[in-house]
Structure 1
Amino acid sequence: MSDPVTALVLLGVLFALLASGVWIAVALGLVAFVAITLFSGAPAGLILATTLWGHSHSWALAALPLFILMGEILLRSRLSEDMFSGLAPWLVKAPGRLLHVNVLGCAIFAAVSGSSAATAATIGRMSVPELTKRGYPEGLILGTLAGSATLGLLIPPSIILIVYGVATEQSIARLFVAGILPGLMLVLLFAGYVAVRAWSDPGLIPTETLRASFREKIRASRNLIPVALLIGGVIGSIYTGIASPTDAAALGVVLATVLAWASGTFSWGAFFEALMSATRTSCMIAAILLGAAYLSVAMGFTGLPRNLAEWIGTFGLSPYALLAVLTLFFILLGCFLDGISVVVLTTSIIMPMVTAVGIDPLWFGIYLVIVVEMSQITPPVGFNLFVIQGLTGIDILRIAKAAFPFFLLLLLGVILITVFPQIVTVLPDAMG
């Protein structure tokens, strides 16, 4: 059987399993079992046992549940209220006014959570009622929240970058550092879009009655100090080399717990809820990663990734042409799967093609995360859309329509890092 036909058979089996409602981890494992049994002579059961054992203890992967727990703790604290009160006095005169609270608030929370869904829930819980009450247009409230919450996947510490780093054996610390400038670039693009909309239609943004002296602004900014300390403690320790991502994640959990207790809104019950939620999420991701590891090993036994990469190489695609095809592929795949599943499903097959045309795997990780961010705001399986629908009760198609300009801005971000790859690579290269 030819390699393209083999790939189509396995892809058909995978989508049939996913469509039937089988768990993603189980579906991956079954496809791997089929691949080894039908297309190689290796013992599928023995490979399953050795793969699960070999991939079930990874020090780098230990950062994952810790960062998830940190985000869950902060989700149940008073952080969003403190950020709103700390940012609002500085933004009342900006074009777009308090809509920028969504953009900057999401960027700040992304730097301490690592999850776009947690970012959308935390910031939206405070900003949506407040901005609606003040008369801001619904489309921009929902759009800025849905679009900016995707920064949780890119700005370190990013859960999906940990998954990519483990799956492709890339340095997680370098991936984290590589995500900083692209994350800031997207913040500027989102804020610039809000400013342009405000300038083009002066009646769109309501007038703010909130006025504060410089001293009052400084006083309000004290609410941002705990968040700044948490960001500095986590990201600073990684960038300076004092701590590994796993050590920094443990530090982040301790700092987040202390800050949550100090806010006066955190209890033992809330801590237990955070612990259980983090456990469920971590177990789900771990199961998917183990299924993906088995599939990766199975692909190696069949020789399919290498042969497909060679087959695609016969088309003579340039790096830009390959990226264009992959962007479309990932966007379509992201319409039906969550971001982590997209990454673990595709890396074993895609990476040989990527490295064959000379694309830096570190740069490709950031590119992949931005494309996956786009899928977070596209129906039918846009996780940010579901979170915001749960917060507001608004129809998901209305939310998707409001988020569409930010989908285009993320696409522009992909183009910018493709044309100017230094945006991604300059900080990791400086880090050494």
Structure 2
Amino acid sequence: MQTTFIDGDLVYRPHSFEVPLNYDHPSDKTITVFAREIVAKQHQGSDLPWLVYLQGGPGFPSPRPDSNSGWLKRALQAYRVLLLDQRGTGQSTVISHQTLAGQSTDQQVAYLSQFRADNIVRDAEFIRESLNVKQWSILGQSFGGFCALHYLSYYPQSLTRAFITGGLASLTRHADDVYRATYQRVLDKNAQFFNRFPSAQQRCNEIADYLVDNQVLLPNGQRFTVEQFQLIGINLGRSGAELPMYYLLEEAFVEVDGKRELSYAFLNNMLMEQTYQTNPIYAILHESIYCQHTASNWSAHRVRDEYPQCHYKKGQDFCFTGEMVYPWMFDQLECLKPLKIAAEQLAEKADWPTLYSIEQLSKNTVPVAAAVYLADMYVEYAYSKETLSTLKNAKAWETNEYEHNGLKADGERILDRLIQLADELDDHQG
């Protein structure tokens, strides 16, 4: 059900496109890619420039805005916005344990290999040409910034400006380097959280010990383990997450017939935290976003051994993990179990193509304005600085005011600042 509608002062127009699954073989299988155009009602007849939003992830759809607020409010003052449901997500041809069930493992691997940043950008180019748009601007958040760097590398002639928030990826580093850095950031965030809420350390230890000593089931019948509990630490990289996490821990236990056990409400919340179940691209392809002619070989899992505090044992303090995926997730999480063999083969895949052109980025002429967060738990600041040293015609706003989700927390201000930076670059070029 895709129809144009008006809500308040905004016009929403849906678009669907049949695109090649594999652009090297465009006459073979096709998939659908969905995008939602949004324009201020007062500007709907105007010839505004386009701004394409590239979502973070990988594996999550574009936002479903319900008001003219945040970064969208600032964008709609000057642009016609296109919210792209990246291939495999949202109203695009979906990837899930259901849709992959009828494929053999070899088919799953071949299919999933086509869902990285390179093809997401090819889809955007297909859409741009289909809409008869000569050039447009892009806004990439997190993984969307990785996509933006690929766009700048191979299709700069299609871009007028690139805005990047929390997504300046390393251009050359192996996934192992990335995880060595991000594990350290995770430890920093753990220390910050437990210093703020000292009683939370004891509560987490109690929860972990209970999970070691008892078989606890989530509402979907899946056994809940310490390792799964650690995964909710991904939230520590987002502003405004610490207090809700504390409240959740505070009410984790309930008394039943005089015995203490984990509450249904707590366990239901733990299940809802496992978005890997509904968005498996994130679990299957997350490490591949760093791979160029190399295999990840479950990088986060291997590097974790260098941080023994991340392996819980009774008698030691509990520690959350962060934005990492692990092979055991395909043994424990119900909706990932059918994809285990495909995930293992993709982790061993070493012929991933190049994602970035250092030569092109070093002579880039497209104005690039980036928000770089000094304490980012997901994207290492030092590696973002390395990329900035290569990327020509770029200006960065380096700030400790925001966590990785700054665009969501204060998007109107952040995008306004980036537009100002891009204006300065244009003035300098002029």
**TM-score, normalised on structure 1?**
0.26
RCO greater where, 1 or 2, for CA within 8 Å and sep 6 or more? 1
Structure 1 or 2: larger helix share? 1
Structure 1 or 2: larger strand share? 2
**TM-score, normalised on structure 2?**
0.26
